[in-house]
Amino acid sequence: MGYDPANPMLDRITDIGPPHYERFFPPVIKNNYGKWLYHEIIQPGVLMHKSETGDEVYTVRVGSARLISIEQIRELCDVADKHCDGYLRFTTRNNVEFMVDAKAKVQPLLDELKGRGNRFPVGGTGACVSNVVHTQGWIHCHTPATDASGVVKAVMDELFDYFTTMKLPAKCKMALACCLNMCGAVHASDIAILGVHRKPPMVDDETISAVCEIPLAISACPLGAVKPRKATNAAGQEIKSVSVNAERCMFCGNCYTMCPSMPLADPDGDGCAILVGGKVSNSRSMPTFSKLVIPFLPNNPPRWPEVVQAVKGILEAWAKDARKYERIGEWAERIGWEKFFEKCDIPFTIKSVDDYRLAYDTWRTTTQFKFTSHIK
């Protein structure tokens, strides 16, 4: 018996939740649950975890595009069936992990992955550029200011070598969110690429009264820039609409989220901002948010060269100058942000000076500073 469209509620099953995680543990994981003693990264992308039982598990970490087909998943399953007794896992950062219970099984697994072309890059461990956490962009999202998968592909092609090696001073976690809603939680990343709009919303008087709750559109604006307005539509009827005070608009797009008749995306208006220096780990310094250092770079598909070069420039300036263990934000705080801009060769603009809420927290209120080229 399958689904019966005439009787959709028949035998309905709901609220059963996900399958229990324990079903999916390979034996070496199940047997050593909570018994792990230490780990070692034996080569880039390969981790060894040692248990107090003496068991070892070797994990091979493979970068993935996140946007993947079921043919690709089936291929991952083929690898897992052949080498890992039919088990595998995915990480928070869109990597795939294959686990084996003996060192001798590692090389055949690596050979297998290598033999399948350039689709299974091994890496993403230690002081590397991690796989990029990202959002949907033009493949599925209705409010993006840039693409996601395309930009990430272009950036990772350029930084590929940093994913498969561990030659940076510390780890660098990257993320991309295609609009200010930040589904990709980019706001606490070492390097974040963020889709931004720069044109205020248009108001479509022909559709607004049919598709929008006007009070919700008005209250969606954090700066009170959206006000009620009487308008006349093409049919000559007087309708309730809104006006936008463009001078007040900060291009957050929250009005469009609430009201489809206020689109703001635009080929020239939209692009990417670059934010740096965030982290979530409590290790050494406290978790911090990323800071806006480049306010705008154009959307230039298919390879976003301006974004790729900006990210690479920051990464390499940090790699050259930072001390061991120093994340990008820790480095920038130590040398001072004025030095950060100088060393990264990024022009400092007024766009990096906060004028939104709680802005005062970021203004400098000490006589301590460094004489960089910014002081004429």
Shortest reach from residue 108's CB to other proteins, in Å: 18
Residue 301 main-chain phi, psi, to 5 deg: -65, 160
Count the Cβ atoms, other than its own, within 10 Å of residue 6.
Answer: 5
CB 264 within 8 A of CB 201: yes
Give the contact letters, 335-364, x = binds to other proteins (CB under 8 A), - = no.
---------------------xxx------
C-beta of 149 vs 346, nearer to other proteins: 149
C-beta of 8 vs 236, nearer to other proteins: 8
CB 352 within 8 A of CB 295: yes
- With a CB cutoff of 8 Å and minimum separation 6, the contacts of 248 are 223, 224, 225
Shortest reach from residue 150's CB to other proteins, in Å: 6
In eight-state DSSP terms, residue 252 is: -
Q: Is 140 near other proteins (CB under 8 A)?
A: yes
C-beta of 49 vs 343, nearer to other proteins: 49
In eight-state DSSP terms, residue 129 is: B
Tell me which of 98, 149, 340, 344 binds other proteins, using CB under 8 A: 149
Tell me which of 18, 54, 236, 347 binds other proteins, using CB under 8 A: 18
CB under 8 A: which stretch of 34-42, 104-112, 224-232, 342-350 binds other proteins? 34-42
CB 196 within 8 A of CB 270: yes
Sites for other proteins among residues 98-117 (CB under 8 A): 99
Q: Is 180 near other proteins (CB under 8 A)?
A: yes
Q: Is 71 near other proteins (CB under 8 A)?
A: yes
What CA–CA distance (Å, rounded) separates 149 from 176? 9
Tell me which of 31, 105, 185, 313 binds other proteins, using CB under 8 A: 185
Q: Is 172 near other proteins (CB under 8 A)?
A: no
Distance of CA 270 to the CA centre of its chain: 18
Shortest reach from residue 371's CB to other proteins, in Å: 28
Shortest reach from residue 168's CB to other proteins, in Å: 8
CB under 8 A: which stretch of 129-137, 230-238, 340-348, 364-372 binds other proteins? 129-137
Tell me which of 281, 309, 349, 362 binds other proteins, using CB under 8 A: 281
What CA–CA distance (Å, rounded) separates 50 from 34? 11
CB under 8 A: which stretch of 126-134, 229-237, 332-340, 365-373 binds other proteins? 126-134
In eight-state DSSP terms, residue 357 is: T
Tell me which of 114, 227, 284, 351 binds other proteins, using CB under 8 A: 284
Q: Which two tokens stand for residue 262?
A: 């206020």
What CA–CA distance (Å, rounded) separates 176 from 135? 7
In eight-state DSSP terms, residue 286 is: P
What are the distances in angstroms from CA 105 to CA 27, 60, 79, 80, 165?
Answer: 15, 11, 12, 12, 21
CB 332 within 8 A of CB 348: no
Tell me which of 6, 16, 350, 375 binds other proteins, using CB under 8 A: 16
User: How many residues in the shown chain lie near other proteins by CB under 8 A?
Assistant: 133
C-beta of 79 vs 338, nearer to other proteins: 79
Tell me which of 265, 272, 293, 311 binds other proteins, using CB under 8 A: 265
Sites for other proteins among residues 212-241 (CB under 8 A): 216, 222
What CA–CA distance (Å, rounded) separates 302 from 153? 10
